[in-house]
């Protein structure tokens, strides 16, 4: 199976590295890291990523995965990036995203009429790319798989692994990675966090979401 991850500047590295760690352990997996250029790609957390392919020489994919991050504002307005996502999404057996990567799929027209999820702070914005927002950590609609915010990408990847290779393989990968989460706090989603925590984080995200909405509108205008 050819698995392709889209890389773009200022992506959230865990959106990418969590699913990569799981999916790369699938039997026969061949992973491509595709970017607009082969120069190192900066992430939001010091780590720099090295693409294996650019858009022109990336092999046809069976599974396309789009991570999220603040860099989506520019990525979803970039014509070459969206053309690549459209091309690979049209022939992939699985079209997938983690966190706000869903909006790159949306900019490519791949979420129209589809159930999808994304990071909680951006969830209501999914309707602006034609999707039906669903509150869940992982959402499937046909061959479209979307994961919620950041760490949800790990659960998303195990869901994909089970779909592709069966439950036993997915469970074996889970054991090998010792994925047995036991967080010290139950504050990882809006319905579990204390009200004060939720209000503080909503306020912190507000300027960022406002900028995102402008970028989303610009991306839509650019497609007209």
31: domain CATH number?
Answer: 3.40.50.880
> Is residue 216 pLDDT above 80, yes or no?
yes
What tens digit of pLDDT does each residue of 172-188 get?
999 999 999 999 999 99
Nearest to 126 by CA among 72, 163, 62, 74: 72
Label the pairing between strands 53-54 and 30-35.
parallel
Enclosing domain of residue 60: 2-222
Residue 224 has pLDDT above 90, yes or no: no
Helices (H), the chain: 13-23, 72-75, 79-91, 102-107, 152-165, 167-176, 195-222
**What Cα–Cα distance (Å) separates residue 106 from each residue in 8, 29, 49, 136, 172?**
16, 26, 24, 18, 33
Q: What's the pLDDT at 221?
A: 84
- Please list the active-site residues: 99
Q: What is the pTM of this model?
A: 0.97
- 29-62 per-position pLDDT tens digit: 999 999 999 999 999 999 999 999 999 999 999 9
User: In the structure, what pLDDT confidence band is assigned to residue 223 with cuts at 50, 70 and 90?
Assistant: confident
Average pLDDT, stretch 112-118? 98
Hey, CA dihedral for 95, 101, 107, 113, is it positive or negative? positive
Q: How many domains are there within the chain?
A: 1
């Amino acid at each position: 199976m050819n698995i392709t991850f889209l890389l773009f500047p200022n992506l959230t590295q865990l959106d990418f590295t969590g699913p990569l760690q799981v999916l790369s352990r699938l039997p026969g997996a061949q992973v491509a890291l595709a970017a607009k250029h082969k120069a190192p790609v900066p992430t939001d957390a010091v780590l720099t990523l090295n693409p294996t392919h650019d858009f022109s020489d990336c092999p046809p994919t069976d599974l396309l995965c789009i991570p999220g991050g603040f860099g989506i504002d520019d990525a979803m307005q970039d014509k070459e990036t969206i053309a690549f996502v459209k091309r690979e999404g049209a022939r992939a057996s699985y079209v997938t995203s983690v966190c706000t990567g869903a909006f790159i799929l949306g900019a490519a027209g791949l979420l129209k009429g589809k159930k999808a999820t994304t990071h909680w702070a951006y969830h209501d914005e999914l309707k602006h790319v034609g999707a039906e927002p669903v509150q869940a950590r992982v959402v499937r609609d046909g061959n479209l798989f979307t994961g919620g915010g950041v760490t949800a990408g790990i659960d998303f990847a195990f869901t994909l692994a089970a779909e592709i290779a069966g439950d036993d393989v997915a469970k074996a990968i889970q054991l090998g990675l010792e994925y047995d989460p036991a967080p010290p706090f139950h504050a990882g989603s809006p319905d579990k966090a204390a009200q004060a925590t939720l209000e503080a984080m909503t306020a912190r995200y507000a300027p960022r979401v406002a900028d995102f909405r402008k970028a989303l509108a610009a991306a839509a205008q650019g497609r007209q």
